[in-house]
């Protein structure tokens, strides 16, 4: 059986809308584009010209639509997640990077650019796909960047993305972030870092994410941070205080209702100038502090 782009696009939008996918038109266009090797604009213009799909393309599109209708993340089906200027490889075992984390990376980039050093140093704790670390390493090429992850499944993706997208100013560390080594290859890390950045797991254990894509497909270790969601933030507060040089900056992503608690726990640990910043939608998603 065969079909035209416009017919199958309409079909896909209907199927995805019925399955409760929040953005059926966008997802349908991206899935078609993925199978046909086209970007969204090209899919839209092909819909106008009513180009025909061959049988193989048709079956591949149908399979992709079925997977998405079963609420598999779009990024697992395409195998790619956009993040700032990057196209990261993602799939089962790794957290899919989110658009809101792009502004967390911006805080880290801005802080690094203000450091009066030929090679300022940043570390990303809980790097997952490597999104924040690779963005920093590529956008601030004179910086030295370290990325820490302790999930073997996630680290496969970290390594792959680092190899494909980053240069030799990014170094990966497979470790629990609480046990980030004090030195690496005989060179001190403790007391030498200018910027610590993290998007840690921060969902309270009892709070089940609404979206099936998150609940069923993001790794639990990437989501949950203990009873109040802040166990990993507490571990970061302790470890970052030793990694940073005096005056160094800590940048944390958190849930939109956690700003007060995060600032309070950082202040209790001796951090200065704690501040919570709204994202582009006005939600409190990032807290910064000075060592
Ligand atoms: C919310 S995800 C963020 C991933 C990535 N930084 C991003 O923003 O897309 C949190 C990451 O922290 C990792 N993680 C959780 N606990 C950790 C620990 N104790 N040590 C190192 N990494 C940890 C998880 O495996 C996951 O990859």
For the segment 257-267, what is each residue's pLDDT rounded down to a tens digit?
Answer: 999 999 999 99
- Can you give the residue ranges of every domain in the chain? 3-70, 84-290
Inform me whether the pLDDT recorded for 117 exceeds 90. yes
Mutation to probe ligand 1, out of 123, 156, 200 (largest number of atoms < 8 A from CB): 200
What is the rounded average pLDDT of the residues 40-64? 85
CB atoms within 10 A of CB 53: 22
Q: 32 is written with which tokens?
A: 């078609």
What is the rounded average pLDDT of the residues 200-214? 91
pLDDT at 271 (0 to 100) = 98
Cα angle 43, 44, 49; round to 5: 90
Inform me whether the pLDDT recorded for 18 exceeds 60. yes
pLDDT at 48 (0 to 100) = 64
CA distance 185 to 72: 41
Q: Topology of 84-290 in CATH?
A: Rossmann fold (3.40.50)
Half-sphere exposure of residue 38: CA atoms within 13 angstroms, side-chain side:
19
Ligand 1 contacts CB of residue 259 (under 6 A): no
Q: Topology of 3-70 in CATH?
A: Helicase, Ruva Protein; domain 3 (1.10.8)
Round the average pLDDT of the chain to a whole number and report it: 95
- Cα distances (angstroms) measured from residue 186 to each of 67, 182, 190, 193: 48, 10, 12, 15
pTM of the predicted model as reported, rounded to 2 decimal places: 0.95
Inform me whether the pLDDT recorded for 49 exceeds 70. no
- Cα distances (angstroms) measured from residue 67 to each of 76, 197, 290: 10, 34, 45
pLDDT at 2 (0 to 100) = 58
Share of the chain above pLDDT 70, in %: 98
Ligand 1 contacts CB of residue 148 (under 6 A): yes
pLDDT at 201 (0 to 100) = 97
What is the rounded average pLDDT of the residues 79-86? 97
Asked if 138 and 149 touch (Cβ cutoff 8 Å), the reply is no
Strand-strand pairing, 193-198 and 121-125: parallel
Ligand 1 contacts CB of residue 88 (under 6 A): no
Q: Coil, strand, or helix at residue 280?
A: coil
């Amino acid at each position: 059986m065969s079909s035209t782009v416009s017919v199958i696009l309409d079909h896909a939008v209907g199927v995805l809308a019925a399955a409760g996918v929040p953005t059926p038109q966008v997802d349908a266009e991206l899935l078609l584009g993925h199978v046909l090797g086209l970007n969204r604009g090209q899919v839209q213009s092909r819909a106008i010209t009513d180009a025909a799909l061959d049988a193989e393309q048709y079956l591949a599109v149908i399979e992709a639509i079925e997977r998405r209708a079963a609420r598999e993340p779009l990024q697992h089906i395409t195998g790619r997640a956009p993040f700032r200027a990057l196209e990261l490889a993602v799939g089962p075992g790794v957290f899919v990077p989110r658009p809101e984390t792009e502004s967390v990376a911006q805080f880290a980039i801005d802080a690094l650019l203000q450091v009066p050093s030929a090679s300022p140093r940043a570390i990303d704790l809980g790097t997952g796909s490597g999104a924040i670390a690779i963005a920093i390493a590529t956008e601030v090429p004179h910086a030295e960047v370290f990325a820490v992850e302790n999930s073997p499944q996630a680290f496969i993706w970290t390594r792959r993305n680092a190899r494909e997208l980053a240069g030799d100013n990014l170094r990966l560390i497979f470790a629990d972030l609480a046990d980030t080594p004090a030195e690496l290859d005989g060179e001190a890390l403790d007391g030498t870092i200018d910027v610590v950045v993290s998007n840690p797991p921060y969902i309270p254990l009892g709070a089940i994410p609404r979206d099936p894509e998150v609940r069923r497909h993001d790794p639990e270790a990437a989501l949950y941070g203990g009873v109040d969601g802040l166990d990993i933030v507490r571990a970061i507060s302790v470890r970052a205080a030793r990694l940073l040089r005096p005056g160094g900056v800590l940048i944390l992503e958190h849930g939109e209702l956690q700003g007060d608690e995060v600032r309070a726990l950082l202040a209790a640990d001796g951090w200065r100038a704690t501040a919570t910043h709204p994202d582009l939608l006005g939600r409190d998603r990032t807290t910064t502090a000075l060592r």
